[in-house]
Chains A and B, each alone.
Chain A
């Protein structure tokens, strides 16, 4: 009892003094409270690999600044979404309402993104999407406090339509899983391919996440189009590319895709991926100094090569660093912070980009071809491509 009293007596004046100091300096310089950054990524389940890469990239950007921006430490609060949309509102709410996070970074999965946007709408936190490509996130559901450092589905597939026509393909079969990302990619491809003068003679939608492709491939063989455009990602992409090759189609009907077909999957696809042509806003082998230094640092930090998801996470980190630096550490005035973010140019490993009015990157899309198991850049397909942001009123 006596001891406690003593401690209390010695601690109390110190506390009061500390309060007074912080009150007096608070009005002059920025406070030294931590900048709270909520991280909502899948750390378990099918998308765990993507979540891990994103977090690695994010941490790399923060580490470059010693986890301190404008004198304020950065505090990360990590939450596992398990890529389950049903969990999104609850986790978002705990970060935004209870933890009062300044920023919430996430998610990977578009379904989760929609749940997050609904919850964060009108709140005093800024959401930064490091992957989920649903067009609506910076389209019909766009919000002043929602930014995206990755891409819209539309951006990754639209340039390929024109490319395909320029390569001389007139009749094409398209195929993807029957879900948002896939359908949006096929629509964007269709839009530019038809406009150029080509014709999509059949669209095949496979129930998600089915990977038994034999019957579809048999049908493609019998239709015998000029080329095939597909959207598949991750494990499905590995299986599709291998099956396409095993059925003897690769030599006869060229395979085109949205970049995710060969992103992080070429090792598992092996020789079957050779020659597959895709469009995306990044390529591992991109010859830009920033990309080289980024990849070198990443490998030194984590002992494995960086991937697209790491780049997008890194840029989410850079966005926070640059914006909070620009406001001199002030995160209380969210309107000012948002305005800064909208004006920034991000020095990304994919090449510098800035944000559209709807807060989606205006960025360069590259035409890529798999050579020796790596996505090599054939050429710039579309410089400064802006998502049409259909339905966005910002």
Chain B
């Protein structure tokens, strides 16, 4: 592998890693603040992608579809938290698993009922549909670079919000001592609703922006969920910074393994996870 090819593969890895971060960030955020492990997180990714398909077909504009789908995702998040998750805060993790696995079935059935079982696709929006020549032989799709940029913006926004704003302060406080935050007069239930809705929104956002480069099929959320878990576990459950670093590591490792070690590429990221957990049982950034 010559240097230029090595670098293009690095770009592939970073690009994949950033997308993984976008999907996993909501999962780890919700767990970190609320202690809720939302197994239906992958389903929200799927719903985001299908909504993007639906509204792109309806309005003929990916941008409009993007805005409408994102808004719907936020509303879905609020409804789920207010109606369902709210009953879980005083219960153990097993009940969370029951409820959120149930939600997976509900969303899968809804998807199958509304959109059918045939694979669907969304066209890449016109202005982002070209490719950039990277080397003599390799071109790179502009849309993929756009996704990477968007993921970086989301990561920066999350970093800024959590570290520099009042909401972020409450989120950080909620992570370390929920009871104390409540006693200080913060409306914790409102905070939880906001955080959960953001979590759902992030998963859907990943689905929406992925829609033009993936195929929309039943069960697409479950495949994503597994990679998500690997990222979250490597990064340390609940740590956003950890998820960011872990996503990049997983993305790059997976890319090089598929080229250099094709025989073990299917288990490469799990092997990596096992190794990291051997050294750091709590993940890279468990606070």
Point out residues on A near B: beta carbons under 8 Å: 44-46, 48-49, 52, 178, 204-212, 214-216, 218-219, 221-222, 224, 234-239, 242-243, 246-248, 264-265, 267-270
Establish whether residues B141 and A246, one from each chain, have CB atoms under 8 Å apart when the complex forms: yes
Choose among A44, A52, A218, A268 the residue with the greatest number of B CB atoms under 10 Å from its CB: A218
Which of chain B's residues have a CB closer than 8 A to the CB of A242?
A: 121, 213, 215
Contacting pair B137 A222 (CB below 8 A): yes
Q: Give 13 A-B pairs besides A218-B12, A246-B144 with Cβ atoms closer than 8 angstroms.
A: A48-B218, A210-B266, A211-B215, A211-B223, A218-B8, A222-B137, A235-B215, A239-B215, A247-B138, A247-B140, A247-B141, A248-B141, A270-B123
Tell me whether B50 is interfacial, beta carbon within 8 Å. Answer: no
Bound Cα distance A332, B139 (Å): 64
> Taking A46-B219, A221-B138 as contacts, is the C-beta distance between A214 and B16 under 8 angstroms?
yes
Task: Check A205 against B131 for contact (C-beta < 8 Å).
Answer: no
Q: Residues of B contacting A270 with CB < 8 Å?
A: 121, 123
Please give the number of chain B residues whose Cβ is less than 8 angstroms from any Cβ of chain A in the complex.
Answer: 41
The answer to whether A222 and B215 have CB atoms under 8 Å apart is: no
Q: How far is the CB of B119 from chain A (nearest CB, A)?
A: 4
- Can you list 28 A-B contacts (CB < 8 A)? A46-B219, A48-B218, A49-B116, A49-B117, A49-B119, A207-B266, A211-B215, A212-B255, A214-B12, A214-B144, A215-B255, A215-B258, A216-B258, A218-B9, A234-B119, A234-B217, A235-B215, A239-B214, A239-B215, A242-B121, A243-B213, A247-B140, A264-B118, A267-B118, A267-B120, A268-B120, A268-B121, A270-B123
A45 touches B215 (CB 8 A): no
**Residues of the A chain whose Cβ atoms lie less than 8 Å from the Cβ of B138:** 218, 221-222, 247
Q: In whole angstroms, what is the CA distance A221 to B137 when docked? A: 6
Q: In the complex, are the beta carbons of A247 and B220 less than 8 A apart?
A: no
| A212 → B minimal CB distance (Å) | 6
Q: Shortest beta-carbon distance, B130 to chain A, in Å? A: 9
Encoded as 1 (CB less than 8 Å from any A CB) or 0, chain B from 254 to 281 comes to: 1110110010011000000000000000
- Residues of chain A within 8 A of B144, CB atoms compared: 214, 246
**Are B137 and A247 neighbours in the complex by a CB distance under 8 Å?**
no
Cα A212 to Cα B215 with chains together (Å): 11
A251 and chain B: residue at smallest CB distance = B139
For B215, give its contact among A205, A224, A236 (CB under 8 Å).
A236
Q: Does B216 contact A (CB under 8 A)?
A: yes
Distance A214 CA – B213 CA, assembled complex (angstroms): 11
Residues of A contacting B218 in the complex (Cβ-Cβ under 8 angstroms): 45-46, 48-49
Which residues from chain B contact A212 at a C-beta distance below 8 Å?
16, 254-255, 258
> Which residues of chain B are near A267, meaning CB under 8 Å?
118, 120-121
Q: Which residues of A contact B217 (CB under 8 A)?
A: 46, 234-235, 238
**CA–CA, A328 and B46, complex, Å:** 52
A215–B259 touching, CB < 8 Å? yes
Q: Which residues of A contact B117 (CB under 8 A)?
A: 48-49, 52
Contact with A along B217-247 (1 / 0, CB 8 A): 1111001000000000000000000000000
| B220 and A235 contacting across the interface, CB-CB below 8 Å | yes
Give the nearest-CB partner of A212 in chain B: B16
Q: Are A211's CB and B214's CB within 8 A?
A: yes
Which of A208, A219, A237: most chain B CB closer than 10 A?
Answer: A219
B123/A268 in contact, CB under 8 A: no
How many Å lie between the Cα of A238 and that of B144 in the bound state? 17
Instruction: Decide yes or no whether B62 CB sits under 8 A from chain A.
Output: no
Contacts of A264 in B (CB 8 A): 118-119
CB atoms of A224 and B15 under 8 A apart: no
- Across the interface, do A178 and B216 meet the contact criterion of CB distance under 8 Å? no
Q: Mark B110-124, 1 if CB is under 8 A from A, else 0.
A: 001000111111011
Min CB distance B127 to A, Å, is 15
Q: Indicate whether B31 reaches chain A with its CB closer than 8 angstroms.
A: no
Question: B5 at the A/B interface (Cβ < 8 Å)?
Answer: yes
* Cβ-defined partner of B266 (8 Å) among A178, A243, A265: A178
B201 beta carbon closer than 8 Å to chain A: no
- Which 6 residue pairs spanning A and B have beta carbons closest together? A207-B266, A49-B117, A238-B215, A268-B121, A248-B139, A235-B217
Partner of B259, one of A48, A208, A209, A219: A219
Contact, CB under 8 Å: B9 / A215: yes
Over the window 135-161 of chain B, the binary record of Cβ atoms lying under 8 Å from chain A Cβ atoms (1 yes, 0 no) is 001111101100000000000000000
State whether A268 touches B215 (Cβ < 8 A).
Answer: yes
Assembly CA distance A8 to B244 (angstroms) = 77
Residues on A with C-beta less than 8 A from B123 are 270
- CB proximity of B230 to chain A, nearest CB, Å: 13
Check A48/B266 contact, CB under 8 A, given A212-B254, A222-B138: no
The verdict on A205 contacting B213 (CB below 8 Å), with A48-B218, A212-B16, A238-B119 known, is no
